[in-house]
Amino acid sequence: MRLELGNIFIKDVQFGAKTKVEGGILYINKDEMIKEIGGDEHIKSIAIEIARPGESVRITPVKDVIEPRVKVEGPGGIFPGVLSKVDTVGSGKTHVLKGAAVVTTGKIVGFQEGIIDMTGPGAEYTPFSKLLNVVVTAEPVDGLKQHEHEKAVRMVGFKAAAYLGEAARNVTPDEVKVYETEPLLESVKKYPDLPKVGYVYMLQTQGLLHDTYVYGVDAKKIVPTILYPTETMDGAIISGNCVSACDKNPTYVHVNNSIIEDLYEKHGKEINFVGVIITNENVYLADKERSSNWTAKLCKYLGLDGAIVSQEGFGNPDTDLIMNCKKIENEGVKTVIVTDEYAGRDGASQSLADADPKANAVVTGGNANEVIVLPPMEKVIGHVEFVDTIAGGFDGSLREDGSIEVEIQAITGATNETGFGYLTTKGY
């Protein structure tokens, strides 16, 4: 499967009479956009604002971050099974508004949305502070149940990203990157001397607003399966999570999974990147055993020499991570795990809820319990009063002067597990 990603570098975002990309600037007709993404009976109001890198702006509580993309050639469309038909995506041509993002906010859904600071020390912990953010504030009708609220805001975000992505359809990309994965037997024949490496992509599926969707299907309902890596780049995997801000992979991270991109960089040179195995993180022991058994079986079936396993979330997903690692190693496949760790504010606590001697090759996402003080910002988009109750905050986190003392788990993207957040911004 071969996909061409056409990156259109966005230098600024401005409101204008017509939604278009011209001279590297994304112009947005605000009224038209609100009309296009509105209409849900569960949402009583929508507002759109722009937050640029370096501005004294705080966005909270953050629900999701989504990169605008549009399918210009090949089967299917962006977010298949959600906004587009359930066609297999990942081939053809897709245009990307690189440097821009949709950020959804509004009244809190659960207790685990996050914070994005566009400047200051908090900005150093989130990659989303480097983006030109189109912030969509979607306020729910009174008395709305949490799961209905989550779905409504989720869909507003996807519609917003698709609407902006359409502006890139007929624009000539500034850069074209090609990603290709051959069918397994062809790949092995093409690179007979290179080690076969796969990526085990653990998806958050604990339920109670901790959900990820694959082609529109709640991933808690699937058994582990194989994807072409390029399918993720067209939005085959999307976030529905309200898990702690630094522990979830927003949709932006799913379509820009840096583990997948890094493996492609080495494909055909140092390794043979044969594909992605997606698996879930359910809460019952039998489900964990089933999924880890299937994951190890698929690694063996693909004839892998090595595997990278990333987790999403912490606590009982640590058990899924270690089960996957141990069982894949038992199949004779060398395994590296990417962890999400909570070691206490002093760093002295056990950072994972599970462990095994076979987990001896580890990339850490850092300690999410580390405490940081975020200085006051001149402008807040959203509802800052919720920082006392989000994960990572506590009674008294929000100070009278507008500064905030929180654990870094409250910062969106601070320690996520695909290498996109903490691993890149902190240089680990």
List residues with catalytic annotation: 242
Alpha carbons 200 and 277: distance in angstroms, whole number: 5
Contact between 339 and 362 (Cβ < 8 Å): yes
Sign of CA dihedral 255, 51, 171, 8: negative
Can you say how many angstroms the Cα of residue 366 is from the centroid of all Cα atoms in its chain? 17
User: What residue ranges in 217-361 does DSSP mark as E strands?
Assistant: 217-218, 225-227, 237-239, 272-280, 306-310, 334-341
Alpha carbons 380 and 60: distance in angstroms, whole number: 7
Residues 4, 168, 96: CA angle, nearest 5 degrees: 45
Alpha carbons 428 and 425: distance in angstroms, whole number: 8
Alpha carbons 308 and 202: distance in angstroms, whole number: 10
Residue 343, CA distances (Å) to 221, 246, 346, 349, 407 in order: 32, 14, 7, 5, 12
Alpha carbons 167 and 359: distance in angstroms, whole number: 46
Alpha carbons 76 and 169: distance in angstroms, whole number: 14
Contact between 90 and 24 (Cβ < 8 Å): no
